[in-house]
Amino acid sequence: MLGFVARRLLYLVPVLIAVSLLTFLIASLLPGDLAYTILGDQATPEKVAALRQEMGLDQPIWVRYFGWLGNILQGDLGRSFRTGQTVLQAVTERLPISLELMVLAQVIALAIGVPLAIICAARSGGPFDRFMTGTAFGMLSVPTFLSAILLIYLFAVELRWLPATGYVPFGEDPAKNLRFMVLPALTLALAEWPGIMRVLRSDMIATLQEDYIALAKAKGLKASRILFVHALKPSSLTLVTITGINIGRLIGGAVIVETVFALPGIGRLLVGAITTRDLIILQGVVLLVGAGFVLINFIVDMLYAMLDPRIRHGHA
């Protein structure tokens, strides 16, 4: 098992290098000169040239890449030329919001999707299964901005149970913080549970055809044990994969939901950096989000090995 973890960790190195290279290239290839952007329209060519020299923009691209990479390895991701805030400060300020949103959304989506998938698989083809499969299909086609607005209308405007927009840090007032987070998390979860339900349901149905399920029945085990112990574990590999992808996606923030609910998360930081052409923030955040995505995938691989001993022992 230790060898397996070490091997997987080694695989991460080239992936992370590729992520940094792509991030840097994309940021460098964006049209427009950074020096012009900083100095504004009225800048004289002399001033621009001086700034370019100062920032190293006159150097060849590979020199700039390795300079940037060297700084990163020393923990310096750069600093916004607009606010003066470092990338790390900006991210650590906003990451907890996006992470909380992501965790809450996943918990809600799994809490809805997993039990429904199990019930549907156990009674596949029955009226409940057909109703839920149809509902899930319908939910999949509802865009996030629409469900966000509908939820706000229902819970904030009509029922007045929850606030429509705003944010209070968790450390300041946990109860109030959760009140602000419920609707955005629910919005994301509504988009995600159908996917969870559909993949787990179809994997469960396939697993329930297996010989070892017939044997579990022949052993006289309780239906609940057959479903939760014998069938759920071998059926959850795809579920883990798509949950990993969902989490990875949400590390980069949920742009639409953060915007609609006015949450100062990573998503809005990125959008802000793009609209103000704050390239330093942009490439730093993209790099961190990419690294986070890679890390989540590493954790997913570890979960595979935990779920299926054949992967752990290198048989699969």
Binding site for other proteins (CB under 8 A): 210-212, 214-222, 225, 229-230, 233-234, 307-310, 313, 315
CA–CA separation, 295 and 255 (whole Å): 21
CA–CA separation, 82 and 44 (whole Å): 20
Closer of 111 and 214 to other proteins (Cβ)? 214
Q: Residue 216 gets which letter from DSSP?
A: H
Closer of 76 and 308 to other proteins (Cβ)? 308
Residue 129 corresponds to which amino acid? D
Tell me the closest approach of the beta carbon of residue 6 to other proteins, in angstroms.
22
270: Cβ contacts below 8 Å, ≥ 6 apart: 252, 253, 255, 282, 285, 286, 289
Closer of 23 and 207 to other proteins (Cβ)? 207
Which two three-digit tokens encode residue 222? 């309780």
Tell me the closest approach of the beta carbon of residue 225 to other proteins, in angstroms.
7
Question: Can you say how many angstroms the Cα of residue 274 is from the centroid of all Cα atoms in its chain?
Answer: 19
Residue 246 region by backbone torsions, left for phi larger than 0, else alpha for psi between -120 and 50, else beta:
alpha
Tell me the closest approach of the beta carbon of residue 87 to other proteins, in angstroms.
43
CA–CA separation, 63 and 61 (whole Å): 5
Tell me the closest approach of the beta carbon of residue 207 to other proteins, in angstroms.
10
Tell me the closest approach of the beta carbon of residue 216 to other proteins, in angstroms.
7
Closer of 161 and 212 to other proteins (Cβ)? 212
Cβ 221 vs Cβ 137: under 8 Å: no
CA–CA separation, 182 and 177 (whole Å): 9
Closer of 160 and 315 to other proteins (Cβ)? 315
**Phi, then psi, of 86 in degrees rounded to 5:** -75, 160
Closer of 7 and 225 to other proteins (Cβ)? 225
Tell me the closest approach of the beta carbon of residue 244 to other proteins, in angstroms.
19
CA–CA separation, 11 and 139 (whole Å): 37
Q: Residue 166 gets which letter from DSSP?
A: -
Closer of 9 and 313 to other proteins (Cβ)? 313
Tell me the closest approach of the beta carbon of residue 245 to other proteins, in angstroms.
22
